[in-house]
Each structure stands twice: as C-alpha cells, then as structure tokens.
Amino acid sequence: MMIQVREWLAQILVWMPWLRDEQGVLLGLGAVVLALLSLVAALVLRRRRTVRRRASQPAALERETEPSEPAVSPEPPAPEPKAESAPEAATVAPSEVVAPVAPVEPARPKPAQAPVEQAPEPAPAPPAPPAPTVVEVPVEQPAPRVSWLGRVRAGLSKTRAGLADGLGALFLGGKRLDDALLEELETRLLMADVGLDATRRILDGLTERLGRKEPVTPEAVMAALADDMTALLAPSAQPLDVTTATKPFVILVVGINGAGKTTTIGKLAHRFKSTGHSVMLAAGDTFRAAAVEQLQTWGARNDVPVVAQHTGADSASVIYDAVAAGQARGVDVVIADTAGRLHTQSNLMQELAKIKRVLAKLDPDAPHEVLLVVDGGTGQNALNQAQQFHQAVGVTGVAITKLDGTAKGGMLFAIAEKLGLPIRFIGIGEGIEDLQPFAAGDFVDALLGRNGSDGQD
C-alpha cells in the first residue's frame, strides 16, 4: 500500500515538476482555493436567480405543479357508476326482458362500494334478448274474438256500401223527411235486395217514428232506420239449440248446387266441437263424385268421423247408417250432407222426403233440423228457393252463405218478412270460422255502419 502511494506521488511529481519546490506548492494551493471560491460564488448567484423567478411567477408555478397530481391518482369516481349498474342488471336480466332500461337510473345513489373489477360486467346486458316476445302469445288470444266482429262487418261491406254509405249526409242541415229523401232511401233498400214489401215496412216505420214535418238529424234517421230493420229481422233470429232428449241431434242440410252446403257443414262441425259437442258427419251427397272426399277433408280438419259409401250409393241409406252409428256411440250431433238440387227437380225433392221417412224409423223426431243453405249472392232468388224447399221438405232453419261477396245482403229482410223462417247462421267467408249465429241487432249495425261497424275494430 505504502509502495503504491509512493508510486502515485512520484507520478504526480513527474506530471507537475513545479511542485518540487515550496513556492510552486503555495501557488498550486492558491489556485485550488481560487477555483473553489469561484464555484461557491456561482452556486450562490444561481440560487438567488431561481428564488427571484419563483417569487415573480407564482401562478405559473402552480399550474406547472397541478398536472402532475392526476397522473398519480387514476380518478376512481369515473368507473364507479359502471361498477354499480352492472350488478343491478345482473339481477333483472334473468326474469325480465326490459333489462336495458333498469341499469341507467340506479347508478346515482350509492357511490363508492364496487371496485373497478366489476367493470368487465358488460356480460349481463346480452342475456336480456333471449327471453323476449314469446310471452306475448296471450296477446294473440283476444285478437281473434275482436277481429271476428270486424270480419262480420267487413263481410257485409259490399251491401253496406250501397245501402248506408253517405246516407247520414243526406240529412245534414236539418232537413225534413220529404218525398225526395224517402225515394232515395227506397232506392238504396231495393238495390240491396231488401225486397219491395220489406222496404215498404221499413219506410213506413221510419215516417211514423220521425214524422214528415219536423226537421231531422242524420243520427235520428239512422237510429230510427236501425230500429225498424232490427224489428223486422228479430223474429227470425233464433239460434239453433242442439240439445235433445235422445242423442244424436240430426241436422239434414239441403239446398241447390254450390250454395255452400258442404262448406257450411265443415264450419258447423268446428263450431259444435268447440262448444264441447261430439260430432259425426254423413256423406249423403252420393251424386257428385268429389263430394265424399270434400266432406272427408272437412272431417279430417275437425277430427270428426265421417260415414260414407261409394258414389251413386243410396243417400238415405248412408244417412241412416250414420245416425244409427251416432246412436250407438252416443254422439251429440250428426250432420248429413245431401246432393245439391233445384227446387224444380221434383224427383230429387222426393229423395229428401224419403230420407226423412227413413230417419223417422230410428228416431221419430229426426231430422231435428232441416237446414236450408242459400247463397246470399242470389238475392231475391234465394226467397223462391226457400219457399220451394220449405213446401217440399219442411225447412226448419236457414243458413245464408257468401254474404262477404255480395251487395245483395238485404235479401235476409225479404226472407224474414216473407217466410218467417228462423235464420240460424250467416256465412261471411270460406274459412272454418267464417260462420256466425245470426243476431238481428249486430247484423243491422254492421249493415248501417253503426257503433263503429265499419269493418274495423
């Protein structure tokens, strides 16, 4: 160690030879002291300048210091709301579809509980969609009932268009029920095939109620018209009651070709089944080749048995077999189809009389209903048919079909006025549910477009 120190000193003396005498040493020390003093002075001056600058610019300094703080604390309040709303959503989502709304509001009240870990909770939002609208099935339920009335109204729209559209406007401005207005009304009623006699009855009733001297309002005219029309139809609105002491209740369905017999039977089967009755069908139209298949199709649609034989078989025999089978099985209602025929074909009308005779052997009261099906589009002709069929086989009820496709729906008034036969059903379409028990008030309201009867609910 000593040797090393000696070597360093020797080395220094080699680099600085002037240190070998006393004067040189003093000079060297003086230089070192001078250098140190200058260094100290420089530091003091620098310090003073710094202090002066700070004193003159405090605001700037503050601004300079601020930004450093946020960088340290990563602002916890921001994540808080998310952390809170997330758990809420998680509880709502499983039960309700409405989840998207819930998370937003509760975010405010409680602040600091949940830490940032909760943030990755976007997961609860997706579970909401799966449950969605399936629950809305029940909403469909009321719709058919409501739209059924709408369909009746819509079905009568063609007749209503000619009969009642714009009728109220004729009486605007306090007019009296004068000849011109009565004539206009008469024309409309006749065009709708209400028939001459029924039209007279309706107009007589109207003038009697309202008088011809006092001004009338459209509302009063429509109300009086509705009352008279309903009064004319009401006696014919007799619903078919299929309860009997001995089962089955037998319905013999008759009418001209293409009136809608087979279709009406299909709709009736549906209606009776849906009211809890057991039903059996008899394919008594053995004349038309496709008639048996057509009835079997309706039987399959309604899931009811159909008794049938080959084309050309004896109609009375088929219907007899069906009623016998119905008795054996305790069926509630047997509905028998028959071939279409014109009321002028007396031999075919005799066939219907034979069917009645044969059935009486099984049940003296059978058939319990001879239901005449008439095509509403045939207007006043339907009246002739009804009269002829009634004379030949004793019709006990009428079903009027295809009212949806005609402007001659007024023929019901003629049938009611002339025959006084019960009108059991009206058909307003080809669908299985497009058959409605006849109700006088509803029918008239639908015809006149009253009580919202404009085809829309």
Ligand X SMILES: Nc1nc2c(ncn2[C@@H]2O[C@H](COP(=O)(O)OP(=O)(O)OP(=O)(O)O)[C@@H](O)[C@H]2O)c(=O)[nH]1
| x-marked contacts with ligand X along 207-246 as a string, rule CB under 6 A | ----------------------------------------
Question: Is 262 known as a binding-site position?
Answer: yes
Question: Is 257 known as a binding-site position?
Answer: yes
Binding segment for ligand X (CB under 6 A), chosen from 92-100, 128-136, 259-267, 302-310, is 259-267
Shortest CB 427 distance to ligand X, Å: 3
d(CA 318, CA 337): 10
* Structure tokens that stand for 26 in this block: 């003093």
Q: How far is CA 108 from CA 75, 80, 85, 103, 232, in A?
A: 17, 9, 9, 10, 70
Member of 157, 199, 263, 436 binding ligand X (CB under 6 A): 263
Q: How far is CA 283 from CA 196, 253, 301, 314, 448, in A?
A: 39, 11, 15, 11, 39
- Asked if residues 444 and 236 have their Cβ atoms less than 8 Å apart, the reply is no
Nearer to ligand X, 227 or 430 (CB): 430
* Structure tokens that stand for 14 in this block: 């080699």
DSSP 45-61: HHHHHHHHHHHH-HHHH
Which has the closest alpha carbon to 279: 251, 305, 253, 247? Answer: 305
Nearer to ligand X, 257 or 344 (CB): 257
Q: Identify the bridge partners of residue 334 per DSSP, sorted by sequence position.
A: 250, 280
Binding segment for ligand X (CB under 6 A), chosen from 8-16, 42-50, 309-317, 402-410, is 402-410
d(CA 425, CA 400): 6
Determine if 326 is a binding residue for ligand X (CB under 6 A).
Answer: no
Shortest CB 255 distance to ligand X, Å: 6
Member of 157, 262, 302, 388 binding ligand X (CB under 6 A): 262
Determine if 436 is a binding residue for ligand X (CB under 6 A).
Answer: no
Shortest CB 418 distance to ligand X, Å: 22
Q: Identify the bridge partners of residue 175 per DSSP, sorted by sequence position.
A: 216
**Pairing of the two strands 175-176 and 333-336:** unpaired
Nearer to ligand X, 262 or 315 (CB): 262
Determine if 291 is a binding residue for ligand X (CB under 6 A).
Answer: yes
Question: Is 337 known as a binding-site position?
Answer: yes
Nearer to ligand X, 124 or 377 (CB): 377
Shortest CB 419 distance to ligand X, Å: 20
**Pairing of the two strands 333-336 and 249-254:** parallel
Question: Residue 191: how many CB atoms within 10 A of its CB?
Answer: 14
Determine if 430 is a binding residue for ligand X (CB under 6 A).
Answer: yes
Question: Is 403 known as a binding-site position?
Answer: yes
Determine if 405 is a binding residue for ligand X (CB under 6 A).
Answer: yes
Residue number with the shortest CB distance to ligand X?
A: 340
Kindly list the residues in this chain that would bind ligand X in the complex (CB under 6 A): 255, 257-263, 285, 288, 291, 340, 401-402, 404-405, 427-430, 434
Which residues are annotated binding-site positions for GTP?
255-262, 337-341, 401-404
